Every structure is written in structure tokens, then in C-alpha cells.
Homo-oligomer: A and B are copies of this chain.
Amino acid sequence: MTEPTLQGYLGTVWQHLLHGVNDRHHPCRHPTLATIGPDGPQARTLVLRAANQGVATLTLHTDSASAKTSELCADPRVAIHVWLPDHRLQFRLSGTATLQSGDMALWSGLPARAQTNYGSAPSPGAAIAAPDAVASTPDPARFTQITCQIASIDLLHLAADRHYRAAFDAKTNWQGRWLAP
């Protein structure tokens, strides 16, 4: 393997994230979003909708009635995690989420089937008597875009010859530094 460089690794992170947006079979399609809930940490899979290296943002979608929405309103700090088994790469991104609900331009671009994900009654996570005791009326007001402003990235590469770890921060203009793995 060519000796890796900090800027090479930073490019690798964003290239894979972009692949995830465009390829439903790429591991970056389904990152894990960790938040802080009232009873401790919470982690769940979301679909990565956009990745923009220029402004350091990742975009996800959720239902305004979901627990993660109320968690993010109480504490907007997020961790986004991906493990790429074939590449033996781990990406850990940290940042702050902002929420925007009811964007009609985005809503009208969603397939009808996707729209049914926003509007279930009762709300996601509510107890129901049977697995089918839930109905959905698509509701654009419930459709919520989560924009994660990324402040730092930690990359771990379990290469065959050694383990590489690097960290990148918005504050230092993403110049990067090596860390002990």
C-alpha cells in the first residue's frame, strides 16, 4: 500500500459518504446516528440523503413525531458512525444537528411510498395492541430534514500492515493530524 496521507484519508471519507448517498448497497447508505436521550445514549440507523464536503454537512430525514426529533431539540449534538467491513475503515463524525420540517419542495419530490413514513398514528414508538394497529396519513408537516454540521472526523483504518488513525477538525480547516490508534 502507498503510504497514506492525511488529506488522502479526508478525501476517502467524503468519497465514501457520497457513494452512500447514491448507492443503496454501500455501507455509508445506512450510517448510525447517536444522540443523547433522557435515559442515556441512543443509536439507530438512518438513510444518508446528502453529503457536502464543501460545507461539511450530512443530511438525514426523520419524522417530527419520532423520539430522535425530541432528543435533538433537547440536545443537538450528534455522532454519526460508519464501519466499512470490506475496507476495514471506520468513520466517526461529530457535529450539531438543525431540524427543518414541512419543506414542500422536498416533500413533493418524495415517492408516495416514502411519504407514508411521515404521518403514522399513533406516533413512532407508542405502544400498540397489535403490530398492525397503526395507520398512516402522509403529513408534510411531519417530514423533517436533519442537517448535521460536522465539526470533527475521526478515521480508523485497520490496514494489513498497521492501524492508522487520523482526526480532522473544522476549527483547523480540516488539515488533520495523526492519532495513536
Contact = CB atoms under 8 A, between A and B. Distances in A.
Given A128-B179, A179-B128, A32 B162 contact: no
Interface stretch (A53-61, A101-109, A130-138, A139-147): A130-138
A125 interface: yes
A160 to B, nearest CB: 12
Nearest to A122: B180
Copies in the complex: 2
Interface in A80-107: 80-81, 83, 85, 90, 92, 94
Interface in A112-135: 120-134
A21 interface: no
Given A126-B180, A133-B178, A178-B133, A41 B41 contact: yes
B180 A45 contact: no
Contact of A181 (B30, B120, B165): B120
Nearest to A71: B41
A4 B164 CA distance: 44
8 contacts: A41-B41, A44-B92, A125-B179, A128-B178, A128-B179, A128-B180, A131-B165, A133-B178
Interface of A: 4, 30, 32, 34-36, 39-45, 75, 77-81, 83, 85, 90, 92, 94, 120-134, 162, 164-166, 177-181
